[in-house]
Structure 1
């Protein structure tokens, strides 16, 4: 177990578990928490929302093996998720855990949210008038048309943002206009805020990942996703700029509105999840600080723990 029992371990390390959706991060996070005396800090943007359980593969409390989880179910579906707000909340939780000797395990599929916690990242300012103008443009032309404009202004940022994610497209265009620089220039530096940080990535081959994604989506639809979306629509899901864009939820909402058959909604969810997984891997492959472990490596827990112990045993972080 990693603790602060000697002068050679000045800080409890921060562990970020990364990898594509359906790669096996959740199971590994529980194994690591048990080995390291850790607690999970959610870094998945959609698991911040109360009631978004089936479609986000959120672990039920009974499945968490007694490991405490933080920053789950903190927003209503009407509220917009903010990376800047999340950064403050998550860093506060991480600091509190380390203060009492518990290892924070950051776990989630939202790469920007993880990086916002562990890396040096100061958020560009905002301007209500500029933001409102771009939001009006979004309402007028749609997310994909606005994404095409972003692609012309900042191809790197556009490649990292899903074409249907209107809120992030608007934010990127706002930053470009306000700063006169590409939005991608405002992304986190690849420098840890605290050197006592280690990222562990779950390595998985594409065919296996594609199969897992399809099985996961099938299980979600069989496990009540349609009923969950129907209930959340009654709670204002359609009005929530962030929650309404969640993969699976938007497809099912379109099905409930009569625009897609159930089979089409399921197929589109599978396709969108696979695209998202590719973007996740593209983001993390650019980060050579990550220690990768195979999803099917029988010693994956041991290898991950060894990487954490190296950081913990390094004086000064």
Structure 2
């Protein structure tokens, strides 16, 4: 039942909820329950869920399970499009304003921490592009083994390399460019932003279930993805003409399914590798989100009824504080 005892339209500082945490922690489930309880709409900040056709491997909430809650920034780009963080931020800020204008509570949910930070704190000030440097890197790519750009960035800025997929040449090139021209690690620049989001009170809810339980959930979810047709989903994407080198196909799960289709692994090997890579990704996500300030952490999964109660109480308290501060 929607709790509409507060006025989101007329309050001078609009409330914005962000649900964060590692993959498989139940962020989408918690976001759905908050939206249903308080009258909200969900805004995605997962970089793979932006793409059409990437459903099973991206753990996109199926339409039938969205409980008639509006979901935004899902399936808005074709898989062959390169999406920059700046483009995402423009779409997301416009969406937030539209939701707030309707008097609904915007709820951000996803796992791409850099997108969330850029949305809230603004894009970092970075050097202008250097075409000569880019041309030089492109010439090297043509003669070096796969993974060259990622290895180069790892030498320049290991932290930045940990955030960017080895297949994402556009983001790797930009990060290398920033390191060389800016004469400092790109990851340092990413810690600051310009043109921060204004007129919003941002309340972050973080999920941090026990590590052993999360490992089990990741293993079960990975098995379910492959059983539910992840390999077939990748084949369908290829049948539409999507290039095997397309950036979204480098995402965890998709990369392993593609390797199986290429004859480089069995399904069992693909599943095991996906599980291992997902565990590592979850650790990187928690490292990132733990750097965020003022997160209300809940040491459980998002589908736990006790988690729902704690989240409802925290959001209600946040609303009460805002109303008292009018």
What is residue 19 of structure 2 aligned with on the other side? 17
What is residue 68 of structure 2 aligned with on the other side? 66
**Whole-Å Cα distance in 2 between the matches of residues 164 and 205 of structure 1?**
31
Gaps of 5+ in 1: none
Of residues 221, 228, 231, the one that matches 1:216 is 221
Of residues 273, 278, 297, the one that matches 1:268 is 273
Distance 1:261 1:99, change over 3 A: same
**Whole-Å Cα distance in 1 between the matches of residues 265 and 207 of structure 2?**
34
Of residues 110, 134, 138, the one that matches 2:112 is 110
Which one is further off, 87-96 or 294-303?
294-303
- Alignment check: 8 A CA contact 2:167 2:245 kept: no
- Alignment check: 8 A CA contact 1:29 1:40 kept: yes
Of residues 255, 259, 276, the one that matches 1:254 is 259
Gaps of 5+ in 2: none
Cα deviation, residue 11, structure 1: 2.8
Of residues 168, 171, 186, the one that matches 1:183 is 186
Cα deviation, residue 3, structure 1: 7.0
Equivalences for 1:137-216 in 2 at 5 Å? 137-142=140-145, 144-163=147-166, 165-189=168-192, 193-194=197-198, 196-216=201-221
Residues 33-83 of structure 1, C-alpha deviations (whole Å, 9 max, x = no match): 011211011111101111111111111111101100011111111111211
- Alignment coverage as a number of residue pairs: 317
1:304 and 2:304 are equivalent in the alignment: no
What is residue 95 of structure 1 aligned with on the other side? 97
**Whole-Å Cα distance in 2 between the matches of residues 263 and 279 of structure 1?**
25
**Whole-Å Cα distance in 1 between the matches of residues 208 and 85 of structure 2?**
26
What is residue 41 of structure 1 aligned with on the other side? 43
What is residue 300 of structure 2 aligned with on the other side? 295
SS at match of 2:48: helix
Residues 179-226 of structure 1, C-alpha deviations (whole Å, 9 max, x = no match): 222101221438963350011111111111111111111111110111
Residues 101-152 of structure 1, C-alpha deviations (whole Å, 9 max, x = no match): 1111111111111112122334534344433433443454345433332232
**Whole-Å Cα distance in 1 between the matches of residues 217 and 129 of structure 2?**
39
Distance 1:134 1:15, change over 3 A: farther
Give the structure-2-normalised TM-score: 0.88
Residues 6-42 of structure 1, C-alpha deviations (whole Å, 9 max, x = no match): 8993233111111111001111011000112110111
**Aligned-residue CA RMSD (Å):** 2.6
Cα deviation, residue 259, structure 1: 1.2
- Alignment check: 8 A CA contact 2:165 2:251 kept: no
Cα deviation, residue 236, structure 1: 3.7
SS at match of 2:107: strand
Which one is further off, 95-104 or 215-224?
95-104
- Alignment check: 8 A CA contact 2:210 2:299 kept: no
What is residue 32 of structure 1 aligned with on the other side? 34
